[in-house]
Amino acid sequence: MSLGTLERTPPPFFNQGPSALSRLVVLGALAIFLMVADARFQMTQPLRGAVATLLYPVQWLAMQPVDLARRAGSYLQTVADAEADEQAAVRRLAEQTLRASQVELLSAENQRLRELLALRERLPVAHQMAEVLYDAADPFARRVVIDRGHVHGLWSGAPVLDEFGVLGQVTRVHPLVSEVTLVVDKELSIPVLNTRTGVRSVAYGEPGFEGGGLELRFIAANADVQEGDLLQTSGVDGVYPPGLGVARVSRVERRADSAFARIFCKPVAATASARHVMVVQPADQQLPPRPAPEAVPTRRNPRR
Instruction: Tell me, letter by letter, the H, E, C secondary structure of 149-208.
Output: CHHHCCCCCCEEECCCCEEEEEEEECCCCEEEEECCCCCCEEEEEECCCCCEEEEEEECC
Give the model's pLDDT for residue 129: 86
- Listed residue (131, 128, 126, 125) closest to 145, CA to CA: 131
* Distance of alpha carbon 165 from alpha carbon 2, whole angstroms: 147
Q: What is the pLDDT of residue 229?
A: 94
Of the two residues 169 and 119, the one the predictor is more confident about is: 169
Supply the pLDDT for residue 193: 92
Residue 71 burial class via C-beta count within 10 angstroms: exposed 0-12, middle 13-18, buried 19 and up: exposed
Answer yes or no: is pLDDT of 65 > 60. Answer: yes
Q: Which residue has the higher pLDDT, 14 or 158?
A: 158
Mean pLDDT of 176-204: 92
Q: What pLDDT does residue 40 have? A: 76
- Cα-only R_g, the chain: 51
pLDDT at 121 over 90: no
pLDDT value for 246: 94
**Residue of higher predicted confidence among 81 and 113:** 81
pLDDT computed for residue 156 by the predictor? 84
The answer, yes or no, to whether residue 223 has pLDDT greater than 70, is yes
Residue 123 pLDDT: 62
Q: Which residues lie closer than 8 Å to 216 by C-beta, 6 or more apart?
A: 192, 201, 202, 203, 204, 225, 231, 249, 263, 265
Alpha-carbon span 256 to 124, nearest angstrom = 46
**Does residue 135 or residue 71 have the better pLDDT?**
135
pLDDT at 212: 87
Q: So what's the pLDDT on residue 98?
A: 64
3-state DSSP percent of the chain in helix, strand and coil, to 5: 35, 25, 40
Q: What is the pLDDT of residue 80?
A: 76
Mean pLDDT across the stretch 174-186?
Answer: 93
- The full set of domain ranges for the chain reads 20-122, 127-285
Taking the CA of residue 91 as centre, how many other CA atoms within 13 Å lie in the half-sphere pointing to its CB?
A: 6
Q: If you average pLDDT over every residue of the chain, what do you get?
A: 80
Give residue 13's pLDDT.
53
The yes-or-no verdict on residue 93 having pLDDT over 70 is: yes
Class of domain 127-285: mainly beta
Looking at residue 226, what is its pLDDT? 92
- Measured torsion, CA atoms of residues 82, 88, 94, 97, in degrees rounded to the nearest 10: -90
Query: At 30, phi and psi to the nearest 5?
Result: -65, -40
Alpha-carbon torsion, ordered 266, 267, 270, 273, to 10 deg = -60
Up-side HSE of residue 270: CA atoms within 13 Å toward CB? 13
Separation in Å, CA 50 to CA 3, 30, 34, 112: 59, 21, 17, 87
Distance of CA 111 to the CA centre of its chain: 17
153, 281 Cβ separation under 8 angstroms = no
